[in-house]
Amino acid sequence: MIRLQSVPPAAAVAAVFLLLMTATGADAEADRRVVRTRQGAVRGTAKQSYHGRHFLAFYNIPFAQPPVGPLRFRSPQPPVGWEHIRDATVPGPSCTQNSIFETLRPPIGNEDCLYLNVFTPEPKPAKLLPVMVWIHGGGFVEGSATWYEPGFLLDHDIVLVTTNYRVGLLGFLSTGDKNAPGNYGLKDQVAALRWVKENIEAFGGDPNSVTIFGESAGGASVHYLMLSPLAKGLFHRAISQSGVCTAPWAAPEPGLLDRARKVAAMVGCPTEPSAALVDCLRTVDDYTLIATEWSFFEWFISPPIPFRAAIEGEGEDSFLPKHPADLRPHTAVPWLTGVTIEEGYFISAPIITNKTMLNELKENSKKLLPISVPFHLLPQADLINDKIHDFYFSSGFSNDKITEFFSDSVFIWPATDAVSSYKDKAPVYFYLFSYKGKYSFTDLAGSEEVSGVAHAEDLLYLFSNNSYYVIPGERPAKDMEVVKAMTKLWTNFAKTGNPTPNDDLVHWPRVTSDTKLEYLEIGKKLEVKKGLLEERMEFWRSLPLGKVPQSKVLKQEL
């Protein structure tokens, strides 16, 4: 016989109360992880920031219908709702893609990929928090919303959104008419911003305080969104890191229909009329389609980005009615933009470390340099080519000069030129990132010949990890000082439109001069300077660059 021990009534009441409180607390936490969007409820998961702050992560939330079958090569369509609570605890796939450099890597991703992630410290705050929407880079060829860890940024009072968008051929193929007008990846970004406007308040975010930010192709996307009529009213501040849409690798090029016809021929589809071409391409396996992308490179990854933004002409669904150089911003918003000091390693490192490629460049530079930027389609390409050789390579093709050339032509000059044309419309803040920490993307080159502050280096101090370069363990104290400064500057800007509203870090002035550009150098310390790489930038200012001539766009039928 089991003897029951008697329990005093007061103790029994206390035990029951404690049990109820524990259950209530668990239920409250579980309920806190469920957020109701306009399409349906989603259940997130609890995470911790780099410094141990608790936040909630909601992954794989659809912001548009899957762009498959008849929706391939079409603008994104509004998402379909659901009745159950959707599991949002596991990251989703990237969009179907090749890798920019890893030619032997098989394709990855899924065509059903129009999902975004939301990270919030509190879905029901006393005051709504500023929202930052991250647009990944990857040359409009690769990338994913899930490749960037939010641990650093979620130490601050912001709501972070990261979004996928279609890339490569599936995101940008165009026949130059209504059958496949192009720009689907950029329109995906607009659809994501519309979702944010309609739903972010449920996650504790302020729909009236949205900052878009991105790097490389993501930075160029941000610049495009500043100009596109489709994005009007969807954001209030913008950050472009190492990328603007008027850069030669991001701006529209002619020959869209020829590229579409080449793809069609390679996969056994009719090459005309365009309606039949597109209808057939919609039936081809996505991995088979993107395998054709490699055929557009003549040397290395040149000419770069064969499938990119297209001029659509005027229309209700037109993302890009004119060349970006001819568009005025729909709303002049504060803009923070900048570059790293040795951007060019992104292109030069694979060349420098491959003796065959390096010799090919030296022996055939008059052809290979123009297609690498590219500037070979400009009316005065030959004159520009001669001047470039005189300025950079009169004493030979040293590793430093090759890197300088790609830094200036591909990233630094386009950024400063874009700032010059925008600075009188709204506040612009420019930075030069020069800090060399313990970890660097140049480490991936595996050569002592490549060491510097390369393209995308600033990302190592905004995101606690990324899939391009996974950093193990703790960061050094000095690196964490840079992390603290950068994330504060970026989130200050997201909150106020000014990266240094209180001057507690430094007073970062807005740009006012074309030739003596004011900028903040983010190095071992924060320093305000004037006159960015003046001799080199003056050289580019003197060249007859302009726009690549475009063929007529948006014909009715081809």
Strands, DSSP E only, in 95-216? 115-120, 129-135, 148-149, 159-163, 205-215
Direct distance between the N- and C-terminal alpha carbons of the chain, in angstroms, rounded to an integer: 92
What is the dihedral angle through the alpha carbons of 77, 83, 85, 91, rounded to the nearest 10 degrees? -20
Question: Which candidate, 241, 228, 239, places its Cα nearest to that of 331?
Answer: 228
Beta bridge partners of 339: 432
Strands, DSSP E only, in 404-466? 428-433, 465-466
Pair 33, 85: CB distance under 8 Å: no
| φ, ψ of residue 337 in degrees (nearest 5) | -150, 165
**HSE value, Cβ hemisphere, 13 Å, CA-based, for 102:** 11
Q: What angle do CA 281, 282, 284 make, to 5 degrees?
A: 65
SS3 label, residue 528: strand
* 23 Cβ neighbours under 8 A, 6+ residues apart: none
Query: For residues 519 and 512, what is the distance between their CA atoms, to the nearest angstrom?
Result: 10
Query: For residues 433 and 418, what is the distance between their CA atoms, to the nearest angstrom?
Result: 18
Catalytic residues: 216, 343, 455
SS3 label, residue 231: helix
Q: Which residue reads 């806190």 in tokens?
A: 32
SS3 label, residue 289: helix
Strand 518-522 relative to strand 205-215: parallel, antiparallel, unpaired?
unpaired
Pair 65, 78: CB distance under 8 Å: yes
Enter the tokens of residue 5.
């021990």
Query: For residues 153 and 151, what is the distance between their CA atoms, to the nearest angstrom?
Result: 6
Question: Which candidate, 135, 300, 128, places its Cα nearest to that of 221?
Answer: 135
CA 222 to chain centre: 8
